[in-house]
């Protein structure tokens, strides 16, 4: 008996100690508006993009030479491509990069790659062209570097960085020094006159016996550190290329022929495989957000057979600890996303630029550290719906959705518009909304943690945390409703603050939320990057904005033009029709609402 009591005590103690306080996730996560991809080039690949000083976007790609295009509306539409570096002498010009200098000069670099049969007068090399009139006209070709004339000893993938001093740096992968081996280094040429003339190359990164490749440099927000993203196939036990960073201080700036060796502490694996085993593969690309955080992409076929995917991560201000993995492009099983890049535009929007099926396509992503809930009086619909919502999702499953939030003194509101993948809805389609009302940073759901599962017909199931898992409960004052249109459905959830243990709206307090989109029979789940349904510490903070503050919601997007929605009550029963913003019930107008 005493032994049994001891075992029960230990079990109870274990149950009580199950909840552990852990550090919250504090970095940004990128939410991709995957329903709205834009074709930048109808044919081509290896594209790069920047935002110019006049606000236009400029892109370049390889497509029968080097082509450029411009957008005056932040990427909604693009000009007809212009060929600025045609192929000549059986030597395709490939893999471009571009930069606008502080004086306004635009420089495009590219990589001549001779086709077979090789001849000694045609070399693999690096060239640039300049424009001093915002891209209207371009200079003749400017020589930077020549490697050997055969593929095995070529050079590859130029990439630019302008320093605060005005020095323009051009990094590239170079195997010309290793004609007897398969090794490769990262080389650097410098220009001190805006790209007119260039120094001889110097080695800045080299791992003996391996192939450092595909460099992309940035200057961190501290303005003291140069970081170069490369692909590195020399990490022990991996057997593949791995996104890696090498670095130096701006004060050092690769002086005295210094370089980062394979054993250097200045060489760092970007993404820990214990965090994410998919984080291997080539073609890394690195950029810096206005917040100082860093974003990194790479391509990989991990778990996808031959289907190449683009993966994006968010790192800290040191370009380390990359997490929050996401895939910008929703792809079928036969599509590949090759030789991709990133751009940061406007006030911090991340643009993924991918090569899909012979085209160049862009996708906008929105880095967020928190969600916003503006104060709204108590209408039947708390939001005016001038936009789809601040939280776009759908890049994983292809079931695209837009969620938004608001609140008043008594209630928290969540609404979500979900676009169907087909004309029929699966029985498990819906949205799961999580709330940690006390903002507790734990590794299990607490008694202040709530889960609201709303199906597309409005059926609502509520669960509460038990310090181990979830337990279904009844909260009669919580309300849910749905409206179904031919191409989408919309769900609305109203949660009284009192139902989740709060006496008032926690303005200035701690509250965290999580969101999942269920598709088909519920087996396909779209999740927020790095948010676990059972770990409130990984959920997103929800800031309640006081009435006098601006809402900070995203820019308006056009509403779909659906003729009719069917409204459902809390039990999933049809109660009316939505016609031109008017809810009809039993043949009478009940309320005006925009859905």
Q: Which residue has the higher pLDDT, 395 or 158?
A: 158
Report the alpha-carbon distance of residue 575 to residue 581 in Å, rounded: 15
Q: Which residues contact 186 (CB under 8 A, 6 or more apart)?
A: 171, 172, 173, 174, 203, 204, 205, 206, 212, 213, 215, 228, 230, 246
Q: How confident is the model at residue 333 (pLDDT cuts 50, 70, 90)?
A: low
Q: How confident is the model at residue 378 (pLDDT cuts 50, 70, 90)?
A: low
pLDDT digits (tens, 9 = 90+) for 254-272: 998 899 999 999 999 998 8
Q: Which residue has the higher pLDDT, 381 or 212?
A: 212
Please give the average per-residue pLDDT across 421-450, as a whole number. 88
Specify whether the CB–CB gap between 210 and 267 falls below 8 A.
Answer: no
Q: How confident is the model at residue 583 (pLDDT cuts 50, 70, 90)?
A: very low
Please give the average per-residue pLDDT across 60-89, as a whole number. 97
pLDDT digits (tens, 9 = 90+) for 545-570: 988 654 444 433 343 444 344 444 43
Q: Which residue has the higher pLDDT, 239 or 305?
A: 239
pLDDT of the residue at 19? 78
123 pLDDT higher than 50: yes
pLDDT of the residue at 388? 62
- The dihedrals phi and psi of 448, each to the nearest 5 degrees, come to -95, 10
Q: Which residue has the higher pLDDT, 295 or 522?
A: 295
pLDDT digits (tens, 9 = 90+) for 394-420: 888 888 999 999 999 999 999 999 987
Please give the average per-residue pLDDT across 442-452, as a whole number. 97
| Mean pLDDT score of the chain | 87
pLDDT of the residue at 383? 38
Report the alpha-carbon distance of residue 99 to residue 168 in Å, rounded: 9
Q: Which residue has the higher pLDDT, 269 or 594?
A: 269
Q: Which residue has the tokens 């003749």?
A: 140
DSSP secondary structure, 275-312, as one string: T-TT---S--EEEE-TTS-EEEEEEE-TTSTT--EEEE
Please give the average per-residue pLDDT across 90-113, as a whole number. 98
Q: How confident is the model at residue 425 (pLDDT cuts 50, 70, 90)?
A: low
Report the alpha-carbon distance of residue 70 to residue 58 in Å, rounded: 5
Q: Percentage of residues in the chain with pLDDT exceeding 70?
A: 85
495 pLDDT higher than 70: yes
Q: How do strand 349-356 and strand 512-519 relate by DSSP bridges?
A: unpaired
Strand order of the sheet with strand 142-146?
93-100, 106-112, 125-131, 142-146
Q: Which residues contact 402 (CB under 8 A, 6 or more apart)?
A: 387, 388, 389, 390, 391, 392, 393, 416, 417, 557
Specify whether the CB–CB gap between 525 and 418 falls below 8 A.
Answer: no
526 pLDDT higher than 80: yes
SS3 7: helix
16 pLDDT higher than 90: no
Please give the average per-residue pLDDT across 322-337, as a whole number. 82
> Which helix (H) or strand (E) covers residue 4, if one does?
helix 2-16
pLDDT of the residue at 5? 35
Q: How confident is the model at residue 422 (pLDDT cuts 50, 70, 90)?
A: low
Query: Which residues partner with 367 through β-bridges?
Result: 30
* Nearest of 196, 164, 201, 162 to residue 184 by alpha carbon: 201
12 pLDDT higher than 50: no
Q: Which residue has the higher pLDDT, 275 or 475?
A: 475
pLDDT digits (tens, 9 = 90+) for 286-296: 999 999 999 99
423 pLDDT higher than 70: no
Q: How confident is the model at residue 334 (pLDDT cuts 50, 70, 90)?
A: low
Q: How confident is the model at residue 77 (pLDDT cuts 50, 70, 90)?
A: very high
What domains can be seen in the chain, in order of their start residue?
43-291 (2.120.10.10), 372-592 (2.60.40.1190)
User: What is this structure's pTM?
Assistant: 0.89
pLDDT of the residue at 427? 77
Count how many residues are written for the chain.
Answer: 595
Specify whether the CB–CB gap between 365 and 349 falls below 8 A.
Answer: yes
pLDDT of the residue at 487? 84
pLDDT of the residue at 361? 96
pLDDT of the residue at 514? 98
Report the alpha-carbon distance of residue 242 to residue 244 in Å, rounded: 6
How far CA 180 is from CA of 153, 175, 176, 214, 525, in Å, comes to 9, 10, 10, 21, 51
Q: How do strand 588-592 and strand 582-585 relate by DSSP bridges?
A: antiparallel
pLDDT digits (tens, 9 = 90+) for 40-49: 999 999 999 9
Q: Which residues contact 550 (CB under 8 A, 6 or more apart)?
A: none
């Amino acid at each position: 008996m005493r032994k049994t009591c001891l075992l029960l005590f230990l079990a109870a103690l274990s149950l009580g100690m199950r909840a552990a306080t852990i550090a919250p996730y504090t970095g940004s996560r990128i939410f991709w508006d995957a329903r709205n991809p834009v074709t930048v080039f109808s044919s081509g690949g290896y594209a790069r993009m920047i935002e110019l000083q006049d606000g236009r976007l400029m892109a370049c790609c390889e497509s029968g030479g080097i082509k450029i295009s411009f957008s005056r509306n932040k990427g909604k539409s693009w000009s007809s491509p212009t060929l600025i570096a045609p192929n000549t002498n059986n030597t395709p010009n490939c893999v471009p990069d571009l930069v606008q200098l502080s004086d306004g000069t635009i420089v495009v670099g590219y990589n001549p790659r001779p086709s077979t049969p090789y001849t000694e007068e045609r070399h693999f090399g690096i060239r640039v062209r300049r424009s001093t009139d915002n891209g209207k006209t371009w200079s003749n070709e400017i020589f930077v570097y020549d490697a050997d004339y055969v593929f095995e000893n070529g050079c590859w993938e130029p990439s630019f960085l302008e320093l605060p001093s005005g020095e323009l740096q051009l990094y590239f992968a170079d195997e010309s020094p290793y004609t007897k081996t398969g090794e490769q280094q990262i080389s650097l040429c410098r220009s001190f006159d805006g790209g007119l003339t260039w120094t001889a190359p110097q080695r800045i990164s080299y791992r003996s016996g391996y192939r450092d490749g595909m460099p992309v440099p940035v200057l961190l927000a501290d303005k003291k550190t140069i970081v170069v993203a490369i692909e590195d196939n020399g990490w022990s036990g991996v057997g593949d290329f791995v996104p890696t960073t090498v670095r130096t201080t701006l004060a050092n700036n690769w002086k005295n022929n210094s370089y980062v060796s394979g054993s250097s502490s200045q060489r760092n694996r970007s993404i820990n495989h214990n965090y994410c085993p998919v984080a291997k593969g080539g073609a890394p690309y690195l950029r810096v957000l206005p917040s100082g955080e860093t974003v990194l992409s790479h391509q990989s076929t991990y778990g996808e057979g031959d289907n190449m995917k683009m993966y994006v991560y968010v790192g800290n201000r040191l370009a380390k600890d990359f997490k929050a993995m996401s895939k910008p492009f929703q792809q079928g099983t036969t599509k590949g996303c090759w030789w991709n890049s990133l751009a940061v535009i406007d006030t911090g929007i991340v643009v993924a630029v991918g090569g899909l099926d012979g085209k160049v396509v862009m996708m906008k992503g929105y880095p967020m550290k928190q969600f916003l809930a503006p104060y709204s009086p108590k209408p039947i619909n708390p939001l005016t719906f001038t936009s789809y919502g601040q939280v776009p999702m759908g890049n994983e499953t292809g079931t695209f959705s837009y969620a938004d939030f608001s609140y008043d003194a008594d209630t928290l509101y969540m609404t979500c518009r979900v676009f169907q993948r087909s004309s029929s809805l699966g029985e498990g389609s819906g949205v799961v909304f999580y709330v940690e009302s006390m903002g507790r940073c734990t590794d299990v759901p607490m008694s202040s943690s709530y889960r609201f599962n709303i199906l597309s017909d409005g059926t609502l199931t509520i669960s509460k945390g038990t310090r181990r898992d979830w337990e279904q409960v009844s909260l009669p004052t919580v309300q849910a409703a749905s409206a179904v249109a031919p191409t989408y459905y919309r769900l609305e959830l109203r949660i009284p603050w009192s139902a989740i243990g709060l006496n008032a709206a926690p303005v200035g307090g701690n509250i965290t939320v999580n969101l999942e989109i269920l598709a088909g029979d519920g087996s396909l789940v779209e999740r927020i990057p790095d948010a676990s349904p059972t770990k409130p510490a990984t959920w997103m903070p929800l800031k309640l904005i006081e009435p006098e503050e601006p809402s900070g919601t995203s820019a308006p997007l056009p509403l779909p033009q659906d003729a009719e929605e069917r409204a459902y009550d809390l039990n999933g029963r049809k109660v009316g029709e939505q016609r031109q913003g008017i809810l009809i019930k039993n043949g009478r107008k009940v309320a005006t609402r925009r859905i």
